[in-house]
Amino acid sequence: MNKLVIEGIKDFNLEHIFQCGQCFRWTQNKDESFTGVAGGKVITLSIHGTTLTIENSSLDDFDSFWANYLDLETDYGKIKDNLVQSDERIAPAIATGYGIRILNQEIWETIASFIISANNNIPRISASIEKIAQRFGDFIATYNGQDYYAFPKPEKIANLSIDDLTACGLGYRARYLINTAKKFIELGNEYFDHLLSDEVSYKEAFDELIKLEGVGPKVANCILLFSLKKRAAFPIDTWMKKVMALIYEFDEEDIKGMAKFADEHFGEYAGIAQQYLFYYVRNNAN
């Protein structure tokens, strides 16, 4: 089995990365490594010190996909310094989730995952996505005794029935996902590639995404942050309301105030600040 070893990886912690709510298809193994599916591949990651090990990947796959997926080119040390200088009250959250990185995930799976996420909880979201993949996705491989499946393409989802998806626990979101799959096909991959480019601003991309059924302001911000590289996006869910009230003494319903604060203090890195805060409130501050 292929095993790649990458040296000199800083600001990188697997639990922080995979348990901060940005992704739903990575699971922790007994030895602290994580196995997950993306890009039609399944790999296992482990890190000791600054040495990252990738099992079941070729060097080509690393260069063409995983390096970007794991956001390895970004200097998070610099970003963390920048955030603390902007507002020192975020320092405890950064100290807690110091190894977070924002994954650069595939656009269709991210749209689908966060449509499913609405008014839902992380264990149920993960379970629903896994059922959809196992029942309707393409088989990838049997790996360490387990079968892995890709998340189905929009063409596949568009042809499912409402019942197919409610059977996966989607509830009323089933209709949104099917309708948005049809819309995604109609718009085409080029449309979303364009939103990813630097030519399109955060605000412009936001206005496009919220046209999709099942995609409101919060879900749009997650898609912008986790797939379209718009790091200014600042998703505000029930957890963020809690932590913004706790640390910054906002009224829990003052979403506009929170968004304005994030823009003014964290600016182009607001989304990264958001992940530290989200991880903090879910794992530490209760």
Partner DNA sequence: AGCCAGGCCCAAC
Partner DNA sequence: GTTGGGCATGGC
Footprint of DNA (CB under 7 A):
20-22, 114, 117-125, 166, 169, 171-172, 176, 210, 212-220, 222, 235-240, 242, 274-275, 278, 282
6 vs 70, which CB is nearer to DNA? Answer: 70
Least distance to DNA, CB of residue 8, Å? 27
6 vs 116, which CB is nearer to DNA? Answer: 116
Least distance to DNA, CB of residue 210, Å? 7
| Angstrom distance (rounded) from CA 34 to CA 46 | 7
And the tokens for 46? 């482990």
4 vs 255, which CB is nearer to DNA? Answer: 255
Least distance to DNA, CB of residue 125, Å? 7
CA 126 to chain centre: 12
121 vs 197, which CB is nearer to DNA? Answer: 121
| Angstrom distance (rounded) from CA 143 to CA 148 | 7
Report which of 246, 271, 249, 276 is spatially closest to residue 259, judged by C-alpha positions. Answer: 271
Yes or no: say if 199 and 213 are a contact pair by the CB < 8 Å rule: no
Least distance to DNA, CB of residue 285, Å? 13
- Compute CA distances 50 → 5, 8, 46, 147, 255, whole Å: 10, 5, 10, 30, 38
Least distance to DNA, CB of residue 277, Å? 8
141 vs 187, which CB is nearer to DNA? Answer: 187
Least distance to DNA, CB of residue 191, Å? 18
And the tokens for 72? 């390895």
Instruction: Give the H or E element holding residue 38.
Output: strand 34-38
62 vs 114, which CB is nearer to DNA? Answer: 114
Yes or no: say if 115 and 129 are a contact pair by the CB < 8 Å rule: no
Residues in the chain: 286
Place of tokens 């970004």: 74
